[in-house]
């Protein structure tokens, strides 16, 4: 979900740029490589390209990741460029993050049904204590787990979704079980 919202913000960056010619697009895509530093239209560094996934480049700016269409990049004297400044991109990423947090908090209520990251049923929210969210797995109140608020997001339809799979949750519970047992002794 975060990726989808950030992709929309990244696409907005390209709407102000003039449409590149085919030659310019080919030249720009050659400069879009993992590890490349990206510069803004003011010549200042924006961030680094973490990886390329098909036609999408993952740009890291101040620790935040933004999917940007690979054809949105140009080539300047220093290397890969975007038609925006770092401040504009950071502003869009922060706004997208705040919107995602607000959507998550609206979906994260007692009684909400939660899905896993793979859209499998997780359970029902029984209780929210600060950042701790207690879930009855499969609706079974004797099978409770506690996840952190940050482990949740709202999907595109506003449905509560854990950012973990059932397998990841099971593995974490198994890893913490010996520690919990020895602490109780």
pLDDT digits (tens, 9 = 90+) for 113-164: 999 999 999 999 999 999 999 999 988 889 999 999 999 999 999 999 999 9
Q: What is the pLDDT of residue 185?
A: 52
Name the residue with higher pLDDT: 104 or 1.
Answer: 104
Which value, to the nearest 10 degrees, does the dihedral of the CA atoms of residues 174, 179, 183, 185 take? 70
Q: What is the pLDDT of residue 121?
A: 94
Global confidence as pTM: 0.69
CA distance 9 to 66: 8
Per residue in 72-85, pLDDT (tens digit) is 999 999 999 999 99
Percent pLDDT > 90 in the chain is 71
Q: Give the HSE-up count for residue 31: Cα atoms under 13 Å, Cβ half-sphere.
A: 21
């Amino acid at each position: 979900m975060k990726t989808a919202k950030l992709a929309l913000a990244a696409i907005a960056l390209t709407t102000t740029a003039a449409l590149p010619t085919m030659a310019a697009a080919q030249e720009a895509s050659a400069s879009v490589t993992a590890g490349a530093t990206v510069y803004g239209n003011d010549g200042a560094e924006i961030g680094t390209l973490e990886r390329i996934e098909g036609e999408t480049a993952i740009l890291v700016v101040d620790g935040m990741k933004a999917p940007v269409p690979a054809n949105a990049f140009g080539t300047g004297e220093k290397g890969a460029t975007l038609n925006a400044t770092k401040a504009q991109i950071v502003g869009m990423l922060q706004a997208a993050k705040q919107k995602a947090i607000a959507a998550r908090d609206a979906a994260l209520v007692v009684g909400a049904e939660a899905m896993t990251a793979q859209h499998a049923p997780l359970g029902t929210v029984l209780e929210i204590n600060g950042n701790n969210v207690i879930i009855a797995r499969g609706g079974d109140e004797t099978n409770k787990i506690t996840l952190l608020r940050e482990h949740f997001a709202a999907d595109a339809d506003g449905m509560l979704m854990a950012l973990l799979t059932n397998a990841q949750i099971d593995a974490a519970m198994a890893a913490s079980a010996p520690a919990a047992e020895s602490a109780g002794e």
